[in-house]
Amino acid sequence: AFIPMRYLGLSANIMSLGGIAIAVGELSDAAIVLIENAHVRLAEAPPGADRRRVIVDAAKEVGSPIFFSLLLITVSFLPIFTLAGQAGRLFRPLAFTKTFAMLAAAILSITLAPPLMVLLIRGRIRTEAQNPVARVLSRVYAPVVRWAVRRRVVVLVLALLVLAGTVPVAMRLGSEFMPPLDEGSLLVMPTTFAGISIEEARRALQAQDRILRTFPEVASVHGKAGRAETATDPAQLEMIETVVSLRPRARWPLRPAVRWWSGKAPGWLAPALRKLWPDRRPRTIQELTRDLSAALQMPGYQMAVSPPIRTRVDMLTTGVRTPVGLKVFGANLEEIERLSIALEGVLREVPGTRSVFAERQTGREYLDVVPDRDAIARYGLTVRDVQDVVESSLGGMSVSTVIAGRARFSVNVRLAQDFRTDPQSIREILVPVPQSAPLDAPPGQGVSGAGASPARTSGGGMGGSMGGSSSRTASAGSMNSPMAGGVSSREAVERWAPRRAVVPLGTLASVRVVQGPPMIKDEDGVLAGYVFVDVDTARRDIGGWVTEARALVARRVPMPSGYRLAWTGQYEFMREMEDRMRYVLPLTLVLIVAL
């Protein structure tokens, strides 16, 4: 088995080695059957018979059935090779190693086992009648066989009744894609509506953490609101994620449990029954999850509690953070939101639903700054000039870098908080207007006369109050001879030039608060909205819950033209596996019958 693993690139992990461990018992069965048959034939052989010939004939007698029985076990693992996604990556190494081991055992059972039997089976072989263990087992088993053969009709009827009795039980069995895992921790993900402030998110997070710490099974709690400092985390501020680390199971407190003997057994018998059926036990993971979700209920929040590793895998593969989710596809975000809210109300009625939350496609407030191109042109500006002012005033602009050893820190500059707290303050942000070029006196022309002076029109026509145009006129006495006082003509002009003009941002752009989608999602070029459903797996299986929910949604929520629903989460993987098994299982049965 290890040789094919080496050339197929399979590592020796817990799943691949588990396949070999499972196959160990079946690998020894072939040799046991061969040796047992050889012992029986040697015990029955007359004195002086050729031992080698008897062993070889015994091996030929059962060699073919053993080979095909091992081959049938190998073929029975064919459906596992067809698994895809996380189930395929998890179980395919196990199937490979078990198949390699079984195939090698089938070949060795007809090649290596007979020569070893000839070499190693020595001495006197006792018959079953001479073996004390075989005699005891035969005495116990023989009456049962005789009774079953004499009453074969009754035995067959009882077998058929037992088989028929399993049908209702099989119909009530639930279906899940992956079994629940105890990872030693839980991930609590409260979700609320868009537009929550940072302070409110912090207050809610701290309150939820305090509630979680009151449970004796909890060792530590660490939560965050919004996204981390990375571009790979698309979480919004209304998304809270709290990792709850649990104590070892041995340190969980015991709770009373009702047993069949509780309140009925006498006092002298209770200690003995308590050892067999304890009436005090710790909470199960499912019970703890349900109690945490109930304790964390807060107005405006929907809770989802699940194992962290499994949740992260589901989020990466399906996009939803709960065991079951719905994706609403369409062309209009408002219609998608309407359908999502309708689904949220309907799915709450399905038994076993712990929480439902539909993503809102509107409700997030945005500050919208729309440039007025005509006004911008009148002041000699460009749209880029206005956008640069908005960027540097509100978002901040990097002006320098502070170096501290090997660390680098960017220095950003923006307006103080008081100057950008509301739309009116933002409208009053001043935008500089470019000035006209300085006017030089014509060469060779003297300035004389009582009213002679250099004139300048302020750029942007601001004057003293940001409106109209203005000019300054120097008195004749002060400017008759500019060179006489040691001041050049350019310096004199620039001295009398007006200060740089500014204009409020509200004059150049429309500043208003608008509502829009918190996040726009699309798949395959189609807009999508998500509905997250947390199912109490201790009460309902996922397959049964989805079956009932699909029927209820089909009756209560009609889909408009151009809109469709897609069920996702673990149910999506389970449905894909069922569709694949619908063809693979019959093919496997045909191969088994053919062999």
CATH number at residue 527: 3.30.70.1430
| pLDDT score, position 462 | 36
| pLDDT score, position 230 | 63
Write down which residue in 175, 198, 232 finishes a domain. Answer: 175
Same domain, 376 and 359: no
Q: Report helix, strand or coil for 11.
A: coil
| pLDDT score, position 435 | 67
| pLDDT score, position 491 | 61
Residue whose pair of structure tokens reads 């939803």 in the numeric block: 320
Same domain, 126 and 195: no
- Nearest 5°: phi and psi at 117? -65, -40
CB atoms within 10 A of CB 239: 19
Structural domain boundaries, residue 131: 2-175
Same domain, 313 and 327: yes
Same domain, 113 and 65: yes
Quick one: average pLDDT of 144-168? Answer: 91
Same domain, 67 and 99: yes
DSSP assignment of 71-122: HHHHHTTHHHHT--HHHHHHHHHHHHHHHHHHHHHHHHHHHTHHHHHHHH--
| pLDDT score, position 246 | 92
Q: What percent of the chain has pLDDT over 70?
A: 87
Domain assignment of residue 309, yes or no: yes
> pLDDT class for 454, splitting at 50, 70, 90?
very low
Tell me which of 368 and 47 has the higher pLDDT. Answer: 368
DSSP 471: B
Quick one: average pLDDT of 167-189? Answer: 79
312-324 confidence digits (pLDDT tens): 877 777 778 888 8
Tokens linked to 233: 């985390």
> pLDDT class for 232, splitting at 50, 70, 90?
low
DSSP 538: T
| pLDDT score, position 552 | 92
Max Cα–Cα distance, the chain, nearest Å: 155
Top mean pLDDT of 24-38, 183-197, 200-214, 482-496 is at 200-214
Residue whose pair of structure tokens reads 């007359």 in the numeric block: 46
Strands (E) across 417-489 are located at 430-433
CATH number at residue 54: 1.20.1640.10
- 0.85 exceeded by the pTM? no
Domain assignment of residue 594, yes or no: no
Helix H or strand E segment including 533:
strand 526-535
Domain assignment of residue 251, yes or no: yes
d(CA 131, CA 125): 10
| pLDDT score, position 275 | 82
Same domain, 498 and 543: no
The yes-or-no verdict on residue 444 having pLDDT over 70 is no
Same domain, 28 and 158: yes
CATH number at residue 381: 3.30.2090.10
DSSP assignment of 26-82: HHHHHHHHHHHHHHHHHHHSPTT--HHHHHHHHHHHHHHHHHHHHHHHHHTTHHHHT
Same domain, 91 and 11: yes
Domain assignment of residue 444, yes or no: no
d(CA 222, CA 443): 78
106-150 confidence digits (pLDDT tens): 888 888 888 888 888 887 777 777 778 888 888 899 999 999 999
Tell me which of 494 and 342 has the higher pLDDT. Answer: 342
The yes-or-no verdict on residue 438 having pLDDT over 70 is no
Tokens linked to 543: 């397959």
Kindly report which listed range (11-20, 140-149, 448-457) carries the lowest average pLDDT score: 448-457
Name the residue among 372, 322, 378 with its Cα closest to residue 546. 322
Long-range contacts of 126-129 (CB under 8 A, 24+ apart): 126/43, 127/43, 127/44, 128/40, 128/43
| pLDDT score, position 504 | 92
> pLDDT class for 553, splitting at 50, 70, 90?
very high
377-434 confidence digits (pLDDT tens): 998 899 999 999 999 898 888 889 999 988 899 898 898 888 888 899 999 999 998 7
> pLDDT class for 476, splitting at 50, 70, 90?
very low
DSSP assignment of 28-41: HHHHHHHHHHHHHH
Same domain, 32 and 155: yes
Same domain, 250 and 160: no
Quick one: average pLDDT of 56-83? Answer: 83
- Nearest 5°: phi and psi at 298? -135, 145
Domain assignment of residue 310, yes or no: yes
Same domain, 122 and 65: yes
| pLDDT score, position 28 | 78
The yes-or-no verdict on residue 493 having pLDDT over 70 is no
Q: Report helix, strand or coil for 539.
A: coil
Write down which residue in 151, 175, 199 finishes a domain. Answer: 175
Write down which residue in 175, 205, 231 finishes a domain. Answer: 175
| pLDDT score, position 374 | 93
Domain assignment of residue 450, yes or no: no
| pLDDT score, position 382 | 92
| pLDDT score, position 233 | 65
The yes-or-no verdict on residue 488 having pLDDT over 60 is no
Kindly report which listed range (91-95, 172-176, 379-383) carries the lowest average pLDDT score: 172-176
Quick one: average pLDDT of 261-285? Answer: 82
Q: What is the mean pLDDT of the chain?
A: 80
Domain assignment of residue 180, yes or no: no
| pLDDT score, position 481 | 41
Q: How many domains does the chain have?
A: 3
d(CA 397, CA 387): 12
Same domain, 382 and 498: yes
> pLDDT class for 461, splitting at 50, 70, 90?
very low
Domain assignment of residue 100, yes or no: yes
